Structure 1
Amino acid sequence: MSGALNQTKDVFADFPDGAGPSDVVSELAGAVFSASLRRRDQRAKGEQYLRGLLTVGGRKTMRNVASLVGGSAAEQSLQHFISSSTWDWAPVREALACYVQRTVPPQAWVLQQMSIPKAGDQSVGVAAGSPATGEAPGQRAYGLWFASEEMSVPVNWRLHLPECWLQDTSRRRRADIPAETVAESRDECAVAAVRETMDRWPVPPRPLLLNAGGHDLPMLMREFGDAGVPVLARIGPSSRLAVADPALPGYGAGAVSAQQIVEAVKGLRHPVRWGGSSALVVAVRVVFGGRAPFGRAEAPGRGQRSMLLLGVWNDPLRPAGELLLTDMTQAPVPALLRMSRLARRVSRDFTEVGERVGLRDFEGRSFRGWHRHITLASVAHAAALLGGTGWGENTARGPWPALVPSVAPVPVPLRTARPPRLTSPYVAGASA
């Protein structure tokens, strides 16, 4: 990774002095819609829909959005534009990503799962809930967000389609699911959302942040590692890892829980400060490991990628409150902790902005309609943040949040193929 992130940039730099939110919408619409909406009437409908998402109160249903521009006739026209038209959403998303990276250079990608509760079973991709996990019936999607300390924007989406939707011919036909779409697990869906973006778009290499809870952690780390995408993952206390440092307790014992590993070395915690925050932190070199036959412990293999497990304590008398796993083993620990907070930025922007522009509000039943709606809602999300507080004055959910002040981002280097022995004083067992 280069030092391209070392400069801060005002988010209004691409707009003339005095430009208001309406100017932002026109500028953004012109920049992203031309990539796919070839006809003038298509671009006009796209901007109408975009302004509706930003202006009307309550849920962003087709009827509510159409009420801004002309009632039932407008509703039918917009319904066709979203669900039955032929324009491709992928170029619009790519153009949005390029626009955002020029305007507010991102520090990281954040992969976030989005659940969309549904009462019925007609919406495309809807799946039964799980009482064991508290998951409600509904749709599941993965959003890939550009994130900086100033703002975050979703730029690509992948809707998870359970196998039952792809095997049922009539269901598949009603939802207009493309013939080339195949069944995939949620883990495969998450990986595909990232790989599709990295492989096809001219986007910068940045670390990927994700919450690995409920996912196949070894599979995700392997897939992203093979693709050259450095990862910083929040993991659960039961995630199984093996200590890779011979000088530390647990080396050679095979895989144990991440919580056990950091508890065994909590006497080596150091106070770490980053930005305006601080915590006690211990960092341990780990690999994915297991046990050999007959219960004999299997030491970490030479060919395995070394990773760094971070245990973070805000209360030294309680178990670690946060566990992070990364393959960026040479990055400074304070920089990793600061970067991890970008996931919180995404959660905040999703709640305060994304929900308000209708990321979860599509009520149609078609696969293509879902993708077109969420693409335009993502553009609206970007416009709301770039336009400051001017939008949303007529909504029932209150004004848009103001942007946080610009701060200098923290550059984090890419993972090297075979990193040397760690020498950071934050890493347990490393020489000072």
Structure 2
Amino acid sequence: MKDITPDLCAALFTGFRRYDQRIRARQYVDGLLSAPGRKSIANIAAAVGGPGDEQRLHHFVSDSRWNWDPLRSALTRTLEQRARSAVWVVRPVSIPKAGEHSVGVGRHFSADAEHVVNGQQAYGIWFASREAAVPVSWRMRLTGRWGRERSSGDEGVSGLLADVRRWGDPRRPVLLDVGDVPEAPALVSRHLREGCPLAVRIGGGLPLTPVRPTVAGAGRRAVPARRILATARRLRATPVTGGRGPGSVVTARVRLPDVGLAQEPLVLFGVWDGTAVAGSPPGPPEVWLTNMGTVSPGALWSLTRLPHRVAEGWRTRGAAVGLRDFEGRSLAGWHRHMTLASCAYTILSLRAAAPSSPSLAPPVAPVSRVRSAA
């Protein structure tokens, strides 16, 4: 089978004006793919370079002035040509660091580790389908001694969405896998009212107003999302098959409590994955809110499996290409490293998908043309 690396790198690196920059970019990506262990610049240079290449690669990533946006834009266009009907998945990530000198390092709660860690906080956005999920853009959250909070969760997500809507199809659905992060209510309130197809994973305690008051037995008062779904589940549940086994989806129509009755209803849905409904705990493992009111429960189920693919890829393929390995005090250097590591990640993903599906088949064909909930 023909290696896709040369053609893909040629397509992605056209934005570099100088030939030596294209050479350094290809060296760096090759090193991310082949260097054993941590993907430090020293290890990358040892794997693919010669005398003096470590210094040249360090300058290329940390000190040169090339802008990473054209490379991320080219990556987005390349992926969209392969899968017109994929979706975007936004995920917060935690990058543990042993020391305190890398850019953005501080103590914070890591959802992956489920405890406080020392490291970097960031948001990434993945181009995701059933066959592959690839990160294309990043934002780091800078707090504490790194200066004032330059990128809150909301600003980071907004920046990522602005990136991909500028570079690609602005109607492509977005899944915000933010869960219980402190910014979740603001993310829900702001982005679900923008009109673009969107689904946000929320905490079960988020207060919402049911459109049908009898569903939660609370009149028109706002009540926790988990309570609305628990009541709706007793009335109806749609069985689905996939993931780790049989599951179910429960939906209810709701409004955000702070916008009044003029707002079009949203769809609240709970997802039980991998176990039978009988005997499961009262609250669903996953709670989602969406403005995609015409999408069937089965399609919603398929969409919400994609963040799990993203999470698994972050833990495995992301580690393989060094997404956690940048060491340096330069924020620009971190962005360049993450961009080139995303290119390496793409190569691994497309290599894995090629035998069964060279075109990266879409997860749910009609979802890019959904209407808001009526």
**So what's the TM-score if we normalise by structure 2?**
0.88
After superposition, residues 274-293 of structure 1 pair within 5 angstroms as 274=241, 278-289=246-257
Partners of 2:131 and 2:110 in 1: CA distance? 37
Q: 1:128 aligned to 2:107?
A: yes
Counterpart pick for 1:224 among 173, 182, 191: 191
Counterpart in the other structure of 1:96: 75
> Structure 1 residue aligned with 2:260, among 282, 301, 321?
301
Paired residue type of 2:278: P
Task: Supply the distance in 2 between the matched residues of 1:73 and 1:244 (Cα, whole angstroms).
Answer: 66
Q: Are 1:342 and 2:297 an aligned pair?
A: no
Q: Can you list the C-alpha shifts for 1:58-104, whole angstroms capped at 9, x where unaligned?
A: 11001100002345611111000111111111100000110111123
TM-score normalised to structure 1 length: 0.77
Shift of 1:233: 1.9
Residue 256 (1) aligns with residue 239 (2): no
Aligned to 2:339: 375
Partners of 2:5 and 2:251 in 1: how far apart?
45
Label 1:146 to 1:131 Cα distance change in 2 as closer, same or farther (>3 A). Answer: closer
1:186 Cα deviation after fit:
1.9
Structure 1 residues 256 and 137: CA distance shift in structure 2, 3 A: same
Could you say which residue in structure 1 is the equivalent of 2:154?
Answer: 187
Is it true that 1:333 corresponds to 2:288 in the alignment? no
1:412 alignment partner in structure 2: 367
For the pair 1:30 / 2:10, whether they are aligned, the reply is: yes
Change (3 A) 1:31 1:231: same
Alpha-carbon distance in 2 for matches of 1:45, 1:88: 14
Indicate the percent of aligned positions where both proteins have the same amino acid. 39
Task: Tell me which of 244, 260, 269 is aligned to 2:236.
Answer: 269
Report the Cα distance in structure 1 between the residues aligned to 2:369 and 2:362, rounded to whole angstroms: 19
The structure-2 alpha-carbon separation of the partners of 1:404 and 1:379, relative to structure 1 and needing over 3 Å to count, comes to same
- The one-letter code of the counterpart of 1:362 is F
Q: Gaps spanning 5+ residues in structure 2: where? A: none
| Structure 2 counterpart of 1:12 | none
Instruction: Answer with 372-381 or 97-106: which moved more.
Output: 97-106
On the 8 A contact 2:85/2:362 being kept in 1, the answer is: no
- Tell me which residue corresponds to 2:34: 55
Per residue, is there more strand in 1 or in 2?
2
- Between 404-413 and 275-284, report the one with greater CA deviation: 404-413
Offset from partner CA, 1:244-270 (integer Å, 9 cap, x none): 213423342522221211222322132
Q: Where does 1:206-221 land on structure 2 (aligned, <5 Å)?
A: 206-212=172-178, 213-221=180-188
In structure 2, relative to structure 1, the CA distance for the partners of 1:242 and 1:216 (3 Å cut) is farther
Find the aligned partners of 1:156 and 1:188 in 2 and give their Cα distance.
14
CA RMSD of aligned residues (A): 2.6
- CA shift for structure 1 position 278: 3.5
Q: Distance in 1 between matches of 2:134 and 2:85?
A: 10
Q: Where does 1:129-144 land on structure 2 (aligned, <5 Å)? A: 129-130=108-109, 134-144=115-125
Q: CA deviation at 1:377?
A: 0.2
| Alpha carbons of structure 1 residues 324 and 131: separation in structure 2 relative to 1, 3 Å | closer
- The alpha-carbon deviation at position 131 of structure 1 amounts to 9.5
- Please identify the structure whose Cα radius of gyration is greater: 1
Please tell me the residue identity of whatever aligns with 1:185: S
* CA-CA distance at 1:403 after TM superposition: 6.5
Question: Does structure 2 retain, via aligned residues, the 8 Å contact 1:106–1:147?
Answer: no
Question: 1:271-315, CA deviations, whole angstroms, 9 ceiling, x for partnerless residues?
Answer: 32255753233211111227xxxxxxxxx8212341111123433
Alignment of 1:239-250 (within 5 A): 239-250=206-217
Separation (CA, whole Å) in 2 of partners of 1:368 and 1:403: 37
Matches within 5 A, 1:300-319: 301-313=260-272, 314=275, 315-318=277-280, 319=282
Change in Cα spacing, 1:34 to 1:52, as seen in structure 2 (3 Å) is: same
Quote the Cα distance in structure 2 between the aligned partners of 1:135 and 1:203: 37
CA gap 1:131/1:312 in 2 versus in 1, 3 angstroms: closer
Amino acid at match of 1:31: A
Is the 2:80–2:168 contact (alpha carbons within 8 Å) kept by the matching residues of 1?
A: no
